[in-house]
Structure 1
Amino acid sequence: MKVGQLYVYPVKSLRPTTITEGILTTRGFQYDRHFMLLKVIMAEDGSGTTTLKNMHVTYFPEMTLFHTDIQYPKSEEDKGKLIVTYRPAPFSESASGSEEIKRLEIPLQPDVKSLTPFQITMHKSPTTGYNMGAEINDWFSAHFGFPVVLAYLGPSSREVLGTLAPAKKGKKAALGTERETLSSEKKWGAIFPVLIVATAISMASQGSTLFRHGIASEAARSLAPALLLTTGTFVALLYYYASLQAPHEDRITFADCAPYLVISEKSVENVSARLPDGEEMDRTKFRPNIVITGAEEAFEEDFWSALTVRAESGRESAKLLLTGNCVRCASLNVDFETGKMGTGEAGTVLKKLMKDRRVDAGAKFSPVFGRYSFLEPKSDGVTLRVGDEVTVSERGKDRTTFGEFLLGWDIEGSMANSSVLDWPGLTN
């Protein structure tokens, strides 16, 4: 199998940016879902109080009329650009009644010091976002026809829901090599205390020679480099030992549940076969980050627990841990060209999948398509490219269960419903 397509979603729920290579991080592809839109809602009592509602494509299908492109930084001084292009549905007018302004350039890495912070909560997982300001907000508001705010994540992140993340307490290791790594670290964890104690004894011995026996200053100076080296070694050993003991904590951006979503092209073809002749399922409706080609059977990814991606030309390999199913909602029925719910057969994709894809016991009323994925920490910073070879490192005997990692999360409502947040003082 190979990596067939790669996608980054710089603004949650808008159209993706197609890439041929991307840098993997434990929080997703670089710049993936670092922005999101929120609708401004005025209080009905006339008090002037405003709240913000997270915008998701299920309830705001017109979000699919906004296309994104990324101009990646070319140097340390270059911060890059996010380009958003509004392409209205054929024969329609934008909310502002004018088609003059369709393209907006946004700093890819804004300086948060100049932005106003506020709290954002997604699926009970709060974080801090930054208001991008009136000029940018007004551009989006004009096209949506109601006031919105564009939020930037900045240095913030969100806690991963339930026990979906591999590092969560009580979660079984999803990859055999991860267990080997943990075993290796345990061995080093047993050795390092001995090394640290030995180094401390050496330091004490040298210190005793210098200070308790009154060595002459010239001789003391000759011993000083050795003492300094021993002290540095002690500090380094202590720091490294501490890093082994600190468990890795998985964090996410404005993505719903996990840093990555993996699907197979074979499964997309299965959905296309359910549509009338000549119609194909748009794979981006599934919001994947990584599309795998070459699978033998449709939906075999239901049982993938881990994937190893091997690159050619000597680049490092990467490991992805697939920990849970992605259960689907009505967003699959959206017509991306009109920005409305689809008509005809294309508007019933969710219903079609209901017939045989309700295969997760933890979400009995929702069909499954794709797998949530996390990056093994050692693969952080590895570049993934279209065409890289993919192998299944570990395959589960049974399907994972959606409810096992949610810890009381509202399965039927929270996947699509947005939280409403108080934001006093909002004026635009």
Structure 2
Amino acid sequence: MYLQDIYIYPIKSLGGIRLEQAVLEERGFQYDRRWMLVDRDGQFLSQRTIPQMALIQVAVADEGLKVFIKNQPEDYIIVPYRPQTNDLIDVQIWEDQVKGQLVNQVCDAWFSKILGFPCQLVFMPVSTSRKLKPKYAVNGESVSFADGMPYLIIGQSALDDLNSRLNVAVPMDRFRPNLVFVGGDPFEEDHWDKVRIGEAIFKVTKPCARCVMTTVDQQTAKKGKEPLKTLATYRTVNNQVMFGQNMLLLEGEKVKVGDPVGIEKK
């Protein structure tokens, strides 16, 4: 088994970026979900209710994140790596309320124009600690603005298995993994406790429960019923549809495409 793909999603719920290598941090990959869009009440925004967010793409540039509309790349904005304000606001992500740092008014205006309603872009500063639930943490780890865990891994064979059951195949971007590996049986990752990728070791914490976001076509922002409808027929546990495994980092500084993937403990 080896690592086929690495993905980061710098701004939560916007387009992801494939990398050849990535820096590992406790909260997740460097730059992964360190920014997030919120409404006037500080509530996080996502494709679950605003599917057109899928049409906004992010790229890593020298001066900051370049954010643009997928079919209109000339309409873009640069999000600085360091916020240009010192303003902290309360933001809500699921049951967690934490402090987010406002980036700048230019970004707020651009995203508000694109989405059609007032919103703000926030950054997660080092001072903001969003702790994992104690039952999953090993050393009191924190997580970014990701839904719940620092890392998500999926086997390519799991997607191949799903696509063999669908009339129209879906790409991996429906599931927003951080790490995709090749080899092993479909859903091999269900049985892991610890896994080594290159020189890094990860603890598998829990299966990833999937939602309607998997039904949003990432190129058109159109919603359908698949692949959730088919997945539900054979991947439902306790009324939740499972696909992929959440993980946290135990040790390691980086991973790269091609790294061997080995099971440390089942």
TM-score by length of 2: 0.94
Q: Give percent identity, aligned residues only.
A: 29
> What residue number does 1:355 align with?
233
Distance across 2 between alignment mates of 1:52 and 1:27: 21
SS in 2 for 1:143: helix
> What residue number does 2:166 align with?
275
> What residue number does 1:104 align with?
77
Amino acid at match of 1:102: D
Structure with a larger share of its residues in strand: 2
- Bigger Rg, structure 1 or 2: 1
Alignment partner of 1:333 is 2:215 = yes
1:64-143 matched pairs, under 5 angstroms? 64-71=54-61, 80-88=63-71, 102-110=75-83, 114-143=85-114
Amino acid at match of 1:365: N
Distance across 2 between alignment mates of 1:252 and 1:325: 16
Amino acid at match of 1:368: M
Alignment partner of 1:320 is 2:211 = no
Name which of 174, 183, 191 aligns with 1:303. 191
SS in 2 for 1:115: coil
Name which of 44, 52, 59 aligns with 1:54. 44
RMSD after superposition: 1.6
Name which of 157, 171, 175 aligns with 1:286. 175
Distance across 2 between alignment mates of 1:82 and 1:135: 14
Distance across 2 between alignment mates of 1:64 and 1:102: 15
Shift, 1:8, TM fit:
0.6
Q: Which runs of 5+ in 2 are unaligned?
A: none
Structure 1 consecutive aligned stretches of length 4 or more whose deviation exceeds 4 Å: none
User: Does the CA-based 8 Å contact 1:125-1:161 persist in structure 2?
Assistant: no
Alpha-carbon displacement from aligned partner over 1:241-263 (angstroms, at most 9, x marks no partner): xxxxxxx3200110111100011
Amino acid at match of 2:179: I
Amino acid at match of 1:157: S
SS in 1 for 2:189: helix
Distance across 2 between alignment mates of 1:38 and 1:266: 35
Name which of 119, 131, 155 aligns with 1:148. 119
Alpha-carbon displacement from aligned partner over 1:157-181 (angstroms, at most 9, x marks no partner): 311135122x2xxxxxxxxxxxxxx
SS in 2 for 1:341: coil
Relative distance call for 1:58 and 1:162 in structure 2 (3 A) is farther
SS in 2 for 1:102: strand
> What residue number does 2:264 align with?
393
> What residue number does 1:96 align with?
none
Distance across 2 between alignment mates of 1:133 and 1:340: 30
Distance across 1 between alignment mates of 2:182 and 2:235: 20
User: Does the CA-based 8 Å contact 2:68-2:74 persist in structure 1?
Assistant: no
